[in-house]
Structure 1
């Protein structure tokens, strides 16, 4: 014991035992009256800094309205909020909106500017999609494959040249991450099919050669395919395996793991997380026992062993609203976890379709004599001629031209 005083900030649901710290700042700990319970970790520390600045002003350390200009960090807080996939309640949407506004004005950290560049995205049109699917994965690639310090250095440097070099390194790592993930995902799909997932409430997969930093992404892909709480494991320390899980709205993942830990003391060496994502460590020899225990826990908590995905839509979209203006307005809004973008549902005739790189389906659709371009990401099989589709309205930019495009969320044959 060094006798050092420690302040802990966190946003995860706390366990039964809390660390012996000088103070714990967590809106989700019992007794905390802070109203915004969905803050990401970066949001918690941001509000702590706001409170500290206010206290120092009150004590006279800073004059009124003086002290650090914390609004200059809004871009980083927005990025962390979206990338951590927390629920975008009213407060989080405000946080993200403020950050995006600064980015669109060019007021951002050098590292974010460089990441927009390597991702081929225009910061003047910055959106929550850019944060979650362009910048976030490139920063996270460092932590998944090497050392997260590289991503942190990119975010905090003030030197434009250093930021550009670091962003290129992160881009290279992200390409490697994609290749590794693709291989692991194919292996995981084969393993999941052998386990007959349609007859169980959960999906668990493990491979001793998988990369620890990628298993969370694999779990997410399997969860989307099978629509069940999913855990993917990789080799950990000697005799141990580490898992990362993703869940569906029907199942609180951390509660399920907590039930397993109470029902089978010692089976889970450690775990943590929240409703939709969690991590854990178990002994490799106990993997089969854990898989059965996890299955039992989910069935007990939900009373079910099958979960069917529900596609919620906003109904049909009138033809007069399918235009660049509406698509642009939708694109500028803050959509994400807990506050999804509008999804529409209509019937179409498939005029043309082809696979892009054998993993994305490009479509030309017709409805009432009007033609529409569409794409279904991560779809590798063709559709029948007549379909009912759930889709989002999007803008597609190509060679300087902007057009309306549908992003297909789901489609099925229509008689």
Structure 2
């Protein structure tokens, strides 16, 4: 069940169109994405590198860069402690490459997802002290490592934190949040309350990129030499699903340009191995093909393999590593399919189905894919979902949320039941005793303010767009909004009461439906649907009868009327070019 709503954002989009010399159509789409601040609009339309913010504005960034400079000059040993996901691997690559270029003595460690869990731990700290490390720099983690950093300071280590996650806090007796402080020598995270950096939405790798920019400046390296790092930063930005506005948009636009002409041996090998060598690589290819392949090493093996691939200078070795990553990702995909089936079976055959927040324990699921499965279950049921499994040191889990439910804050209310947890409003990771699972599930559901109405899936439409308004010029305008992603979603348009003049089932696997559509003004256009064709046919049978469905495929006049949500595009086939709409959702009118 879903509801459709047309966005009705209040702003003077006509003035925006005049001031920025764009069409009212494009202005309305920007307003719909809450891009109304003139500085934000300017950086959105003119996504040039000179729109990147000054790194010095970020709290402790100058301090951190000065510390690293002194350590490099004095030949101190530096160790980077990263994370095992794409953002973490890329962050390490950037920081390691940057410090090396400045002449630093640096190495790195990546915690094992299974053996160590997320972030820096006491064992990593003690190992660093034993190895004669002078300075630890965390990336994509560390903001919540209060005790681990305290230990590092007690052992005489210098600690610099670079992170982008929400700050940890406790709730006092008065119900007020009290944010926890760390003993780190420098904490570089734009989400700190007293940080005046103008954009808070960077991923971990982008925070590191800003630090490297300042480090290069200190060592009198040209600013332009940092820009070659944007192809890697773009991968992390896309895969960490941060809002593609402000700096993130600039990073991704420039990064994709560089990535399509990459000279990195490892990336070239992975691009070839995953079958996207001859394609123009975009957000989709990074988010659903290349990124998951990098991620797979940290899930099922060691994230060091992915980092080794990026650092590789040997083509044969790079090809071997790329093949391993692709195979690991294929294994991960099958494990995910099996895990989703198990979780759905548990939900459908238990009282959990009645819960507003789904907390499901399945000990046989590999802990590395619990988050992916939670995301799939969240999409199916449109409810915040936490999938728990049996890890090496007890029950571990990952959660994925829906809009309007701050998972990080809600789980914080249950902190007394947990051993460890961290995350942000839309996702979280946690561990707890098996005996506390039932109480954790109960407390989350009892405390929630979610209503039944909140759990109904909502689709927000940019505007009704009559078919006769679709043109090649309009499609060119839409390209100005690319790249699409979180915070800048691909526009959704709607049209009502369309006739179906004819239908065709296409594709080798008969999984594409082409419909010849006609609106009330007799404008005709092709519509392509890649969804569940059987369900589409069954709905028509239920409402109109099989006879009317048969008429569609025979091209005979019928009584069926369709409302659609779509995105306009250009179809090029056998030298012919024509306009079409890609149908994303539909409603069959009675």
What is the TM-score with the length of structure 2 in the denominator?
A: 0.62
Which of 282, 298, 301 is the matching residue for 2:432? Answer: 282
User: Residue in 2 aligned with 1:345?
Assistant: 494
CA distance in 2, matches of 1:405, 1:211: 42
CA distance in 2, matches of 1:403, 1:111: 38
Kindly indicate whether residue 346 of structure 2 is the aligned counterpart of residue 191 of structure 1: yes
Which of 88, 92, 99 is the matching residue for 2:248? Answer: 92
Which of 149, 152, 157 is the matching residue for 2:312? Answer: 157
* 8 Å Cα contact 1:364-1:371 kept in structure 2: no
Query: CA shift at 1:148, angstroms?
Result: 1.1
Which of 167, 171, 176 is the matching residue for 2:322? Answer: 167
Which range is displaced more, 194-203 or 34-43? 194-203
Unaligned runs of 5+ in 2: 1-125, 130-155, 170-179, 541-560
Please give the per-residue CA displacement for 1:357-383, whole angstroms capped at 9, x wherever unaligned: 99x952112211735352335787334
User: Residue in 1 aligned with 2:205?
Assistant: 42
User: Residue in 2 aligned with 1:391?
Assistant: 566
User: Residue in 2 aligned with 1:268?
Assistant: 418
* 8 Å Cα contact 1:12-1:28 kept in structure 2: yes
Which of 524, 530, 538 is the matching residue for 1:370? Answer: 524
Cα distance change of structure 1 residues 23 and 158 upon mapping to structure 2, 3 Å threshold:
same
User: Residue in 2 aligned with 1:309?
Assistant: 457
CA distance in 2, matches of 1:93, 1:305: 33
Please give the per-residue CA displacement for 1:127-150, whole angstroms capped at 9, x wherever unaligned: 222221221111111111111111
Query: Higher RCO, 1 or 2 (CA under 8 Å, sep at least 6)?
Result: 2
Secondary structure of the corresponding residue to residue 414 of structure 2: helix
Please give the per-residue CA displacement for 1:182-209, whole angstroms capped at 9, x wherever unaligned: 1111111111223456633211212111
Secondary structure of the corresponding residue to residue 125 of structure 1: coil
User: Residue in 2 aligned with 1:414?
Assistant: 589
Please give the per-residue CA displacement for 1:260-279, whole angstroms capped at 9, x wherever unaligned: 22xxx2x0111111111111
Superposition pairs of residues 313-332 of structure 1, within 5 angstroms? 313-319=461-467, 330=478
User: Residue in 1 aligned with 2:74?
Assistant: none
Which of 364, 381, 391 is the matching residue for 1:236? Answer: 391
* 8 Å Cα contact 1:200-1:306 kept in structure 2: no
CA distance in 1, matches of 2:466, 2:159: 57
Larger CA Rg, structure 1 vs 2: 2
* 8 Å Cα contact 2:383-2:455 kept in structure 1: yes
Which of 14, 17, 24 is the matching residue for 2:187? Answer: 24
CA-based RMSD of the aligned residues comes to: 3.0
* 8 Å Cα contact 2:395-2:432 kept in structure 1: yes
CA distance in 1, matches of 2:490, 2:204: 24
Cα distance change of structure 1 residues 225 and 405 upon mapping to structure 2, 3 Å threshold:
farther
Cα distance change of structure 1 residues 180 and 319 upon mapping to structure 2, 3 Å threshold:
same
CA distance in 1, matches of 2:320, 2:305: 11
User: Residue in 1 aligned with 2:163?
Assistant: 10
Secondary structure of the corresponding residue to residue 6 of structure 1: strand
Please give the per-residue CA displacement for 1:229-253, whole angstroms capped at 9, x wherever unaligned: 1111111134x21111111111011
Secondary structure of the corresponding residue to residue 339 of structure 1: coil
Query: CA shift at 1:342, angstroms?
Result: 0.6
Cα distance change of structure 1 residues 374 and 204 upon mapping to structure 2, 3 Å threshold:
farther
Secondary structure of the corresponding residue to residue 130 of structure 1: helix
User: Residue in 2 aligned with 1:294?
Assistant: 444
CA distance in 2, matches of 1:27, 1:387: 47
Please give the per-residue CA displacement for 1:260-310, whole angstroms capped at 9, x wherever unaligned: 22xxx2x011111111111111111111111111112333xx466742121
CA distance in 1, matches of 2:201, 2:298: 23
Q: State the aligned residue count.
A: 399
Query: CA shift at 1:325, angstroms?
Result: 7.2
Which range is displaced more, 154-163 or 39-48? 154-163
Superposition pairs of residues 112-261 of structure 1, within 5 angstroms? 112-122=267-277, 125-195=280-350, 199-238=354-393, 240-261=394-415
CA distance in 2, matches of 1:195, 1:203: 11
CA distance in 2, matches of 1:170, 1:398: 34
